[in-house]
Amino acid sequence: MTTIKNRYDFVFLFDVKDGNPNGDPDFDNMPRTDEETNHGLVTDVCIKRKIRNYVQLLKGLKSPYDIFIREGNVLNTIIDGKRAETDKKEEDEKKAVKLGRDEMCNQYFDIRTFGAVMSTSDMKADDDSSEEKAEEGGKGKKSKKKDSKKKIKGLSVVRGPVQLTFARSIDPVDAKSHSLTRCCVTTKDENKNGHTNTIGNKNTVSYGLYRMHGFISATDAAKTRFSEEDKEILFNAIINAFENDHAAARGEMNPRALIVFKHESPLGNARAGQLFDLIQVNKKEGVEFPRSFGDYKVTSKEEIEAVLKNRFPNVTVKELIRRMLHQM
């Protein structure tokens, strides 16, 4: 597989209707919001989980597309097991750690893509202390000779080439908690006390269009061997992850735009912020409370290309999700 040679920056737009895109466990699983502005939030961890799940379905947990962060894995056991293997292959500690990181990157898609902390702890090597008696002035004196050399435990840290921001809604969202009932009870005690139904809650956002930014570093990709094929799988996962993640609690979630900037240089030919500013997302005139993607106007690919041609000729743009006709 060919390691990517170019830097990439991208903007991902997705929306949710009558669902909870990312509940906050600290607030009774209400949709995450910015407490000051009421803009909706979806964490990068939530998006990465959906990407991992899609790749797992697509590739079936087979190397080189296995998933490290997944249900059932005991991470430290895997890390320490790999370290034990590489210690047998390399006597030098640093070489053993590097070999272990390389092998983990080769096996696991998510480590190769997002990186991972694989330090299980630091420990001191066993003290081979010996007691030596020395005759000083007729008295026996004990002295200890200690080896305080530290040994790295685990495989240290892998910095992933792909980094994602939190997704933030374009406009403030209306987060609500709906009371629900069902025609049965949960426990026998409830039945004895005369209860005929159980009351619960469902938390939703009426509608929200969310924007997430992403970055792919060619220099970090060289270290983890993140390849062109990996990049295509990543973008495919971003586009299709919601289709395999439907749940009543999440309502309708749909990808709406994935706009990718490709730099000619591995270090980049423009600042990411300059490129992101080219993509404007605004409510259409007369829309007060947006309730669909059609209530927004998004900068077209042609408009972006016109600016790039004049200001950033070494950057190209590609739109990986075709918008609705009235948005083109």
List, for residues 311-326, the tens digit of each pLDDT value.
999 999 999 986 443 3
Return the pLDDT at 229.
97
Return the pLDDT at 230.
97
pLDDT more than 70, % of the chain: 86
Return the pLDDT at 237.
96
Return the pLDDT at 134.
39
Return the pLDDT at 136.
43
pLDDT at 133 over 50: no
Among the listed ranges 135-149, 184-198, 214-228, 284-298, which one has the minimum average pLDDT value?
Answer: 135-149
- Tell me what the mean pLDDT of segment 296-302 comes to: 95
Q: Using the 8-state DSSP alphabet, how is residue 61 labeled?
A: T
Mean residue pLDDT of the chain comes to 88
**What is the rounded distance in angstroms from the CA atom of residue 103 to the CA atom of residue 79?**
11
**What is the rounded distance in angstroms from the CA atom of residue 60 to the CA atom of residue 63?**
9
Q: In this structure, are residues 226 and 3 in contact, taking their beta carbons and an 8 Å threshold?
A: yes
Residue of 108, 3, 1 whose CA lies nearest to 62? 108
Question: Higher confidence at residue 134 or residue 86?
Answer: 86
Return the pLDDT at 135.
40
245-283 burial code (b ≥16 CB/10 A, e <16) = eeeeebbebebbbbbbbbbeeeebbbebeebbebbebee
pLDDT at 253 over 90: yes
Return the pLDDT at 58.
95
pLDDT tens digit string along 156-200? 999 999 999 999 999 999 999 888 877 777 777 766 666 656 677
**What is the rounded distance in angstroms from the CA atom of residue 328 to the CA atom of residue 326?**
6
Q: Using the 8-state DSSP alphabet, how is residue 33 labeled?
A: B
Q: What is the CA radius of gyration of the chain?
A: 27
Return the pLDDT at 127.
40
Return the pLDDT at 120.
85
- Tell me what the mean pLDDT of segment 48-69 comes to: 96
Q: In this structure, are residues 23 and 227 in contact, taking their beta carbons and an 8 Å threshold?
A: no
The structure tokens 């030596």 sit at: 132
Return the pLDDT at 325.
37
pLDDT at 128 over 70: no
Segments making up each domain of the chain, as ranges: 8-116+158-327
pTM confidence score = 0.86
- Tell me what the mean pLDDT of segment 264-273 comes to: 97
- Tell me what the mean pLDDT of segment 254-272 comes to: 97
Rounded to 5 degrees, what are φ and ψ at 239?
A: -70, -40
Among the listed ranges 23-27, 74-78, 300-304, 318-322, which one has the minimum average pLDDT value?
Answer: 318-322
Return the pLDDT at 182.
74
pLDDT at 294 over 80: yes
Q: Using the 8-state DSSP alphabet, how is residue 277 labeled?
A: T
80-99 burial code (b ≥16 CB/10 A, e <16) = bebbeebeeeeeeeeebbeb
Return the pLDDT at 191.
66
Q: CA torsion angle for 75, 77, 81, 83 (degrees, to 10)? A: 60
Return the pLDDT at 193.
66
